[in-house]
Amino acid sequence: MSKQALLALEDGTVFPCRAFVGAGEVGAEVCFNTAMTGYQEVLTDPSYKGQMVCMTYPLIGNYGTNPEDVESAKVQVSAFLVKEYLDFPSNFRSDKSLKDYLEEAGVLGVEGLDTRALTRHLRMKGAMKGVLSTEDLDPQSLVAKAKASPGLVGIDLVKEVTCAKAYRWINGRIERELELAGGFDPEAVWAGGQGRWRVAALDCGIKYNILRRLEARGMKIAVLPASTPAETILRLNPDGVFLSNGPGDPSAVTVVVETVRRLLGQKPIFGICLGHQMLGLALGGQTFKLKFGHRGANQPVMDLMTGKVEITSQNHGFCVDAPSIGDPEVVMTHLNLNDRTLEGLAHKKIPLFCVQYHPEASPGPHDADYLFDRFVKMMETGRPLGAGA
- Residue 357 C-beta-side C-alpha neighbours within 13 Å: 35
Would residue 316 show up in a list of annotated catalytic residues for this protein?
Answer: no
For the chain, how long is the longest CA-to-CA vector? 63
Mapping DSSP to helix (H, G, I), strand (E, B) and coil, where does residue 97 land?
coil
Which of 121, 276, 316, 358 is flagged as catalytic? 358
**Residues 64 and 91: beta-carbon distance below 8 Å:** yes
Nearest CA-CA partner of 181 in 239, 211, 224, 244? 224
Which of 163, 204, 273, 319 is flagged as catalytic? 273
User: Distance between CA atoms of 206 and 223, rounded to whole angstroms?
Assistant: 9
**Residues 246 and 48: beta-carbon distance below 8 Å:** no
- Strands (E) in the chain, as ranges, are 3-9, 14-21, 25-33, 51-55, 59-60, 79-81, 84-85, 108-111, 128-133, 167-170, 173-177, 197-203, 219-225, 240-243, 269-272, 286-303, 309-321, 330-336, 342-347, 352-355
Based on C-alpha coordinates, what's the Rg of the chain?
21
Task: Please give the angle made by the CA atoms of 49, 251 and 33, to the nearest 5 degrees.
Answer: 35
- Residue 138 C-beta-side C-alpha neighbours within 13 Å: 5
User: Distance between CA atoms of 387 and 389, rounded to whole angstroms?
Assistant: 6
User: Distance between CA atoms of 389 and 374, rounded to whole angstroms?
Assistant: 8
Mapping DSSP to helix (H, G, I), strand (E, B) and coil, where does residue 245 land?
coil
Q: Across the strands, what pairs with 311?
A: 300
DSSP 8-state class, residue 2: P
Would residue 358 show up in a list of annotated catalytic residues for this protein?
Answer: yes
User: Distance between CA atoms of 228 and 300, rounded to whole angstroms?
Assistant: 34
Would residue 343 show up in a list of annotated catalytic residues for this protein?
Answer: no
- Which residues carry out catalysis? 273, 358, 360
